[in-house]
Structure 1
Amino acid sequence: MYSVRLWSVRNARALHRLYAFFSRLAPRLAPLVRRIGVQHVETVLRPLEQGAKNVFFDCRMCGQCVLSSTGMACPMNCAKQMRNGPCGGVRADGHCEVEPGMRCVWVEATEGTKRIAADHLAHPTPLLPAIDQRRRGRSTWLEVVHGRPAPVFQPPVGERITPEGEQSQFERSCASGRPVVTVEIAPPDSADPAALLARAELFRGLVDAMNITDGAGGNCHMSSVAASAILATHGFEPVYQIACRDRNRIAIQGDLLGAAALGVKNILCLTGDDVSRGDHPQAKPVFDLDAVSLLHVARGMCDRGEFASGRKLEQAPDLFIGATVNPFVPPYVDRVANLEKKIRAGARFIQTQFCFDVERFADFMTEVRRRGLHRQAHILVGVGTLGSAKALRWMANNVPGVCIPEALLARIEAAPDQKAEAKQVCIEIIRAVTAIEGVAGVHLMGHRNEAVLARIIVDAGLRAPPPTMDEADPAAAPATSRRAAA
């Protein structure tokens, strides 16, 4: 079946023409279907449709077939069931993050779409709404007979209209024109928030906002919404990361309302890592939404004051909504289109995966500027460091979506002080990417490496050091001071 599925993508243009011919003729059968009865026709048609689609596309009978819009690659074969891909974890060989033996379904979809349409560079695959679970197992051929369009393009949600005085501090910082600095902090493995607050305190006065991860890597920590609310209560500016992996759309919308009620004003929409690499590999992933459909749901709540069901909210949340992009994994050329999807769906700021390849990122930004996307969303480049070449190599080999050039690893390995060299590399990357037109700032990452990241912010010239920095980070104090202390 898998080999036939790949054949279907390679022959997407011919199959698309066949589908187009069927779509033109099928509505003529509508009067006959009504006379026989829709239910009777579906009883006969459904097994025929399922059998044919299963052979050619490994069909899962979602009831909302979009093969003609996704290059004849069924998105339901995605291990994360993404309706809008690819995710940021595609392997360097184009294979799936979750199932390494399988090519990424969305890499296939992009290639198939290119074979169908000459204007694929505008939008290789369209925006697709989240699956309507009620339609699973239903015949989509009948939908074609009735002339109903495929559920593809979601309408734009419009421009953000929040007055400046009501915007979050982070949103105002993004609009200020000065380099924006954000940092990622993992919630603690504790019911005591003291450790979280201590790590956040290292960045007071140095960053514009602090991302709180949501079960990153499939590992369990204090909930992101609770940790974000704790930071907001203590005068910090949190960005609540919300992943689709663990909650369905009901729980996600409830959490968004709860976060807003607790003073959280910024969110980052993520599809989420697979659970198999985390500390609960036996857990069931949900993936009811993906990042794009979550963006659309969140913007609908904020801008239209509606749940995804269409039910009106009594009071709409006011959130500054962002998303991620990874220019460093396949399909490289079409990652800009993935970014454009997210901006069209409602993202107003973007944070990238770790950038260790400045040249590839500069190429990415060239296309971003050509499409004017840097004027529609604030782009923050992911940067960071670990303490040794060994740790960086482990991250490159084990963290989906992280790519580190071998030459850079060799440079750090050859250094007498690998930690200092890795830090210097990070500073050089920051200076290089912030000089690229269209970059709004940087997003620093490094698990439990907060003191080093705080020093990097200062040494890269992004912020002036707060008066207490050297006291908080003795390793950063001048050598004379260290000798005196000894």
Structure 2
Amino acid sequence: MLSLRRWSVRHAAGLARVYRWGARWAPRLAPLARGLGLARSERWLRPLERAGKALLFDCRMCGQCVLGHTGMACPMTCAKQLRNGPCGGVRADGGCEVRPQMRCTWLEAGDGQRRAGSVAAPWLAPLDRRRSERSTWIQVIQPEPDAVPVTRSAPPPAPRLAEPLSAFDAALQDALRGQGFAVTVEIAPPDSPDPAVLLARAERFRGLVDAINITDGAGGNCHMSSVAAASVLAAAGFEPVCQVGCRDRNRIAVQGDVLGAAALGVRNVLCLTGDDVSQGDHPEAKPVFDLDAVNLLGVLQGMTARGTYASGRALEQAPKLFLGATANPFVPPYVDRVDNLERKIDAGARFIQTQFCFDLDRLRAFLDEACRRGLHRRAALLIGVGTLPSARGLKWMAEHVPGVAVPDAVIARIAAAEDQRAEGRRVCIETIHALQRLEGVAGIHLMGHRNEATLAQVIVDAGLRSPLSNPSSAS
């Protein structure tokens, strides 16, 4: 089956011609299908369609086929069922984050698109789950008047970054509209209902950062919810970024959570697809992935700009959200990463935070293309940086955390140092200074699990903020 899937991608150009020919001639069968009855016609067509597509494409009969848009690689074979991939966890060899032995579906899709001479896939709509196990070709023969389109139009455009959103402006947006170098930091919420631990971690960064990200079950591990933790920070006078992943919620739950966060003063929302559950502390859990990050952005931007839920039902009052997303320039497919970034910006992202940057050459190639398209003027690009206490820890992260790429030279440099912790900080600071000189970089996003003291010191030592502005620096 896998060999036939790869054969289909290799012959995407020829299969695309057959596909277009069929789509052109299929409507001529509409009178016959109506005469037999559409339900009966579909019963006859469905097993033929299932057998043929399963053989060539490992089809899962989602009822909303998009092979013509994805280089003959079926998105349903993606372990996260992304409609707008790839995710940020693709392995260095091109393996899937969830199933390492399988090549990433979206690498296959990119190969197929290039062979067929087609442009990058458009923004694909979320699945209409009601159509599961139904024929797609019956819709081509006789379109249904209420069928949900497989491609999606963008919601009303969000203002450019330089424009004020309205009176609800978030402090993070103000910082990103300015000419300075923005700083955000990521902290994990506690394994406790007591907010004191969370507030103590955040207090180290008061006056040192423009916003604090709260992770949402990072790595598939359970903690206090991002919505609750971000609300605690907002009430304490911090500027939180609430991370919202698609792994654990369907489209109903995620809209309710974000609406609740907005009611509690949270304005900044980072939209994520989410990590694989098998690597976390609940590997037996069922992943949801009803939406992907692009479609989550579209849903939340529609709530903000149109004042409607994804269903079209009107909200009594629209939430005022400043939306962000992630990007990973450091893992395959390198050539398609800017396309994915552009889709997220089209969907409503106004700030982007990247994975850890240890490879400036990879980043420069990504930025060159992003700037050529003018994406840095539509969204603020915050580059991920951080440090670990040892070369051993850094190597472990590179080998076991999908999406993190660390050049061997960086690991060797830190391993050779007498004080590895101090050398790691120096590498991080040097990276920050290099980023300050790159066109398109609006700031940095600091990461490091429960490493708050070191990250706060890096901010000061890099000259980004004064310790005098942080009351907790004297403690």
Interval containing the TM-score (normalised by the shorter chain): over 0.9
- Aligned equivalents of 1:6, 1:339: Cα separation in 2: 26
What secondary structure sits across from 1:165 in the alignment?
coil
Choose from 131, 142, 147 the match for 2:127. Answer: 131
Choose from 273, 279, 286 the match for 1:284. Answer: 286
Change (3 A) 1:386 1:265: same
Offset at 1:470? 4.8
Q: Which residue of 1 aligns with 2:169?
A: 167
8 A Cα contact 1:350 1:378, kept in partner:
yes
Letter in 2 for 1:157: P
Change (3 A) 1:163 1:402: closer
Q: Which residue of 2 aligns with 1:189?
A: 191
Q: What residue ranges of structure 2 are gaps of 5+ in the alignment?
A: none
1:354-398 Cα shifts (integer Å, max 9, x gaps): 000011101110001110000010000000001010111111111
Offset at 1:166? 1.8
Q: Which residue of 2 aligns with 1:28?
A: 28
Q: Which residue of 2 aligns with 1:142?
A: 138
Offset at 1:163? 3.9
What secondary structure sits across from 2:68 in the alignment?
helix
1:259 maps onto 2:258 in alignment = no
Letter in 1 for 2:323: I
1:182-233 Cα shifts (integer Å, max 9, x gaps): 0001000111110100000000000000000000000000000000000000
Q: Which residue of 1 aligns with 2:342?
A: 340
Letter in 2 for 1:125: A
Letter in 2 for 1:141: W
What secondary structure sits across from 2:385 in the alignment?
strand
Q: How does 1:169-318 map to 2 (within 5 A)?
A: 169-318=171-320
Q: Which residue of 2 aligns with 1:471?
A: 474
1:94 maps onto 2:94 in alignment = yes
- Aligned equivalents of 1:385, 1:234: Cα separation in 2: 28
After TM superposition, the score normalised by the length of structure 1 is 0.95
Offset at 1:172? 0.8
- Aligned equivalents of 1:326, 1:470: Cα separation in 2: 32
8 A Cα contact 2:307 2:317, kept in partner:
yes
- Aligned equivalents of 1:163, 1:8: Cα separation in 2: 46
1:331-354 Cα shifts (integer Å, max 9, x gaps): 011111110010011111000000
What secondary structure sits across from 2:301 in the alignment?
helix
Offset at 1:32? 1.4
Q: How does 1:48-59 map to 2 (within 5 A)?
A: 48-59=48-59
Q: What residue ranges of structure 1 are gaps of 5+ in the alignment?
A: 473-486
What secondary structure sits across from 1:403 in the alignment?
coil
Offset at 1:56? 0.4
8 A Cα contact 1:297 1:307, kept in partner:
yes
8 A Cα contact 1:164 1:172, kept in partner:
no
Choose from 430, 433, 436 the match for 2:435. Answer: 433
8 A Cα contact 2:204 2:473, kept in partner:
no
After TM superposition, the score normalised by the length of structure 2 is 0.97
Q: How does 1:316-395 map to 2 (within 5 A)?
A: 316-395=318-397
Q: Which residue of 2 aligns with 1:416?
A: 418
8 A Cα contact 2:213 2:242, kept in partner:
yes
1:233-271 Cα shifts (integer Å, max 9, x gaps): 000000000000001110000001000000000000000
8 A Cα contact 2:206 2:472, kept in partner:
no
- Aligned equivalents of 1:262, 1:159: Cα separation in 2: 23
Moved more, 308-317 or 164-173: 164-173
Letter in 1 for 2:156: V
Offset at 1:469? 5.2
Q: Which residue of 2 aligns with 1:18?
A: 18
What secondary structure sits across from 1:81 in the alignment?
coil
1:133-177 Cα shifts (integer Å, max 9, x gaps): 101011100111125796124235313386443211111111012
What CA RMSD, in Å, does the superposition of the two structures yield over aligned residues?
1.2
1:291-316 Cα shifts (integer Å, max 9, x gaps): 00000000000000000000000011
- Aligned equivalents of 2:195, 2:174: Cα separation in 1: 28
8 A Cα contact 1:157 1:296, kept in partner:
no
Change (3 A) 1:314 1:162: farther
What secondary structure sits across from 2:156 in the alignment?
coil
Q: Which residue of 2 aligns with 1:154?
A: 153
Q: Which residue of 2 aligns with 1:107?
A: 107
- Aligned equivalents of 2:413, 2:373: Cα separation in 1: 36
Q: Which residue of 1 aligns with 2:451?
A: 449
8 A Cα contact 2:8 2:56, kept in partner:
yes
Q: Which residue of 1 aligns with 2:3?
A: 3
What secondary structure sits across from 1:280 in the alignment?
coil
- Aligned equivalents of 2:37, 2:306: Cα separation in 1: 39
Moved more, 30-39 or 226-235: 30-39
1:56-91 Cα shifts (integer Å, max 9, x gaps): 001000000000100000000100011110000000
8 A Cα contact 1:157 1:345, kept in partner:
no
Q: How does 1:37-56 map to 2 (within 5 A)?
A: 37-56=37-56
- Aligned equivalents of 1:3, 1:442: Cα separation in 2: 43
Offset at 1:116? 1.1
Q: Which residue of 2 aligns with 1:479?
A: none
- Aligned equivalents of 2:411, 2:77: Cα separation in 1: 35
Letter in 2 for 1:159: A
What secondary structure sits across from 2:353 in the alignment?
strand
- Aligned equivalents of 1:66, 1:299: Cα separation in 2: 24
What secondary structure sits across from 1:166 in the alignment?
coil
What secondary structure sits across from 2:371 in the alignment?
helix
Q: How many residues align?
A: 468
Q: Percent identity?
A: 63
1:307-327 Cα shifts (integer Å, max 9, x gaps): 000000001100000000000
- Aligned equivalents of 1:230, 1:220: Cα separation in 2: 18
Letter in 2 for 1:194: A
- Aligned equivalents of 2:296, 2:175: Cα separation in 1: 24
Offset at 1:462? 0.9
- Aligned equivalents of 2:459, 2:166: Cα separation in 1: 27
